[in-house]
Chains A and B, each alone.
Chain A
Amino acid sequence: MSQTVAVPSRVQPAAVARKRRVDWLPYLMVAPTVVVLSVFSLLPTLYGAVVSLYRVQFVELLDFVGLDNYVGIFTNPEFWSGLRVSVIFSFFSVVLTVAVGFGLALLANRALALVPTFRTVVVMPWVTSYVVVYLIFKWILNFDDGLLNVVLYAVGQRKVGWLTDPFLAMASLIVVDTWRAAPYAMILLLAGLQTIPHELYEAAATDGASGWRSFWSMTLPLMKLPLTIVLVLLTIVNLNTLVAMLVLTGGGPGRATEPLSLLMYNQAFQYFQMGPAASIAMFIFALNLVLAAGYVRLLRSD
């Protein structure tokens, strides 16, 4: 992009030359990031777009097929089933995560003695390895000797097929994901809460506002932007979720918990259908772009 500078007539030529000199230091500072992102994110994404237009044998491009791979996936019921799973999982998981995260943030924002310990404990699920978290929950939710069913049985209840019933498997995934991601939401929302001046609450209390009234009329409106940002970020993350399903349910029972990301993985690495897999990847990428554009717009509106 060329750079032009409007020069007032009274400015001396030497000053114009100095103004025209570009300050390269900021560019140099971000260059390593740009290079790394280009090599490891941008180029693979562009290559993925190319692959989605070809008939491919593993990674060898055979024939240009135009949009055939896209037509193939859009006419495949598995794609729509995967999209349905992705949307249901993302919607409920995000709503629950934000609700729980906001609740935790409100608690952590209080000036109580145990708050530092509380914050540390609450953040632990988020800093634990994804795979470890899901493996632990796979054991907890196991039908035969899982902790949850052992407890249920001990108190006279029937064991429940948390991961083998199609509905409960999805519900379990949502709850486990909420447990893992709520601390992340909490951290972001806590940052937002701490920007609200305490004097506002004192003034409201002086005017006789109840805690609920303060929350409803002050906290919530002032937290609108942080909440929306968290919603968008979590939606992007959840649309791409793969590990939870891969570890906890494998996408089963049947296809009940097979989201688009897992369908893409299976197309690529079970059946070596890289063309259709790349098409699904591009579809997910497009969804992410839309959400990211919304996120950027929100940030600008701030």
Chain B
Amino acid sequence: MRTAGISRRAFLGALGAAAALPLANACKAIPIGGGGASATSGTVEFMAHFTPVGTNDVRDDASKAVWEDFQKKYPNITIKWQQTAWQTIGEKYMAAWSAGSAPDISLFSPANIAPALLLGSVEDLTPHLNGWPAADKEDYPKVWWDVGTYNGKKYIAPLLLFGALPIYRKSLFQEAGQKVDQIRTWDDWRKALQAIVKDGQGRPPTDPAFDESSVKVWGFAQYAARNSGASIPYFNTFIVERLGKQMVEPPDWKADRWITPEAIDSVTTITNWVTKDRIQPKSTLNMNLSDADKFFASGLCAAYNFGTNTYPTARKNMQFDPMDAVFERIPSPDGQKWGPIGINHWSMGVSSKSKNKEAAFTVMDFWLTKAADIEFAKTAGQQPKRTSSLSDPFFDKPENAYVKTFADAQKEWAVPDLSAPVRTDDILLEAYHSIITQNVPVRDAMQQAYDKYTKLLSQVPKEKLPQA
């Protein structure tokens, strides 16, 4: 039977062409230069972990409201939303950028802005921001301008600028004879939390017979699972308090201070909360951010470290009166002044390969208007970024007054979370885990972390290290 009348050569040619077609198409999709699109038209792809199409976060609701206003004002600009998990947003952006399919705008955190910069994937926003009206420029505090500024160029525009402060369930502390506004030193902190924790037999953590498995309310919790974006709780705070410098900094980004006596002592104090003081459960080693937020909201611990980024969502789910949970300032070693508040952020960056940069800037600017700032504050409980927004009477209501506590803390001593050229979080967390679960001496664990970080840092060409 004659089955096919084509030669082997023709067949293989056709096969090759079939294989090449998708590749050719993929190559065609790679932009080869800047676009010349109109400023008020086109499609902008926006990747974030909270978007108008999301449903499980109050920030989704705020985004939706801002988007609706945007559509009214700019009907010719279409925004295509890409919702993704916050833990992997940086990797996804960089992979997409490398493949020529990056969204025009993506959110960046301190964990991923420096690697994205090293890749050259983020547009310098300075020329565009220079064109802003002076009133707008002045309305943003210095920290907003400092975040994501390298070598004098600003690459990202913070959409959420938030700190994290200790939150305490006041009534539990009162029952234990403690006053939360008097926790000024880290020693006060340990003692107050130890006064809260009791096992099923009513024994405190200082009792040798203390039974961890029967504790109903722990003192403190913090997410600390590997690969969850977590790091050693309060480590940078301790280092800044004791050494006056961040754990890594420009110009050299070296981690020498991780193995200083101050750092070893700090990590000893922090790990003791789990191993010796027993105010923090070992189960935190397996918690991601969402688990830990729920742990506090369920009433399983008396103190927590909340950022205003996730507090409003957790507040809606609290199994106790949310007004009983109050924010206080960060303790310090000597209690002479409050500890520094780290300033974290989720910021908008524009792809350097965007074909519609003008439209992307229009979108970015709209998300930075005062109206959007207030919308995120009112709908999603976020800290406003603009100085003028704080005068809104909304923040005078008792349930919203926490925002002013954060603002006061920032005015006194704010330390922006720096984006190191090598991620430090999981390296430090590995050391933290090994100290707690494998009894590795603190000095050895920190030395290993230092060695690993230093080796990775050495892979980054010196001329490419981001500078302030």
Interface on A for B, CB 8 Å cutoff?
Answer: 21-25, 27-28, 31, 34-35, 38-39, 55, 57-60, 138, 142-145, 149, 153, 158-161, 163-166, 246, 249-256, 258, 262, 266, 269-273
Contacts and interface: CB of A to CB of B under 8 A. Distances in A.
Contact of B91 (A27, A142, A255, A269): A269
A272 B19 contact: no
Contact of A252 (B8, B22, B94, B285): B285
Given A254-B434, A273-B459, A35 B227 contact: no
B286 A163 contact: yes
B436 A253 contact: yes
A250 B228 contact: yes
Nearest to B228: A250
A285 B227 CA distance: 24
11 contacts: A57-B118, A138-B286, A143-B283, A149-B213, A153-B213, A153-B214, A163-B286, A250-B226, A250-B228, A253-B433, A272-B94
Contacts, number: 123
Given A166-B438, A253-B437, A258 B226 contact: yes
A143 B437 CA distance: 15
B437 A266 contact: no
B4 interface: yes
B4 A256 contact: no
Contacts of B94: 58, 272
B315 interface: no
Contact of B98 (A21, A28, A34, A59): A59
B408 to A, nearest CB: 34
4 tightest A-B CB contacts, nearest first: A159-B213, A250-B226, A252-B226, A143-B283
Q: Identify the interface centre among B19, B286, B423: most chain A CB within 10 Å of its CB.
A: B286
A251 B300 contact: no
A295 B209 CA distance: 55
A250 B426 CA distance: 10
A58 B98 contact: yes
B446 to A, nearest CB: 14
Contacts of B53: none
Contacts of A31: 15, 18
A39 B286 contact: no
Nearest to B23: A39
Contact of B3 (A24, A158, A165, A255): A24
Nearest to B429: A252
A249 B288 CA distance: 10
Interface of B: 2-4, 6, 8, 11, 15, 18-19, 22-23, 88, 91, 94-95, 98, 115, 118-119, 211-214, 225-228, 281-283, 285-286, 288, 295, 298, 300, 422-423, 426, 429-430, 433-434, 436-438, 456, 459
B283 A144 contact: yes
Contacts of A253: 226, 285-286, 433, 436-438
Given A25-B3, A164-B282, A250-B226, A58 B119 contact: yes
Contact of B285 (A58, A60, A164, A262): A164
Contact of B437 (A142, A144, A166, A262): A166
Contacts of B119: 57-58, 60
Contacts of A21: 2
A39 B456 contact: no
A161 B282 contact: yes
Contacts of B426: 266, 270
Contacts of A58: 94, 98, 115, 118-119
A252 B286 contact: yes
A271 B295 contact: no
Given A166-B437, A246-B227, A271 B456 contact: yes
Given A159-B213, A166-B438, A28 B4 contact: yes
Q: What secondary structure prevails in chain B residues at the interface with A?
A: helix
Given A164-B282, A253-B436, A273-B456, A24 B19 contact: no
B247 to A, nearest CB: 17
A86 B281 CA distance: 28
A247 B441 CA distance: 28
A294 to B, nearest CB: 30
Nearest to A257: B226
A143 B4 contact: no
Nearest to A256: B437
A89 B429 CA distance: 23
Given A143-B286, A251-B227, A272 B115 contact: yes
Given A161-B283, A166-B438, A273-B459, 19 more contacts: A24-B3, A24-B4, A24-B11, A25-B4, A27-B11, A55-B459, A59-B98, A142-B286, A163-B286, A164-B285, A165-B437, A249-B225, A249-B286, A251-B227, A253-B285, A253-B436, A262-B227, A269-B88, A272-B94
A23 B98 contact: no
Contacts of B3: 23-25
B19 A35 contact: yes
A295 to B, nearest CB: 27
Nearest to A267: B456
Contacts of B115: 58, 272
A27 B98 CA distance: 35
A166 B439 CA distance: 12
Q: Identify the interface centre among A25, A34, A55, A251: most chain B CB within 10 Å of its CB.
A: A251
Given A250-B225, A251-B226, A254-B433, A158 B211 contact: yes
Given A39-B23, A253-B285, A144 B118 contact: no
A28 B15 CA distance: 9
A273 to B, nearest CB: 7
B430 A144 contact: no
Nearest to A271: B456
Contacts of A138: 286
A280 to B, nearest CB: 15
Contacts of B15: 31, 34-35
A35 B18 contact: yes
Contacts of B98: 58-60
A64 B261 CA distance: 41
B283 A142 contact: yes
Contacts of A27: 11
A1 to B, nearest CB: 10
Contacts of B18: 31, 35
A22 B5 CA distance: 9
A67 B180 CA distance: 58
A23 B4 contact: yes
B93 to A, nearest CB: 11
Nearest to A157: B213
A153 B200 CA distance: 11
Contacts of A166: 437-438
Contacts of B2: 21
A24 B211 contact: no
B362 to A, nearest CB: 29
Contacts of B118: 57-58
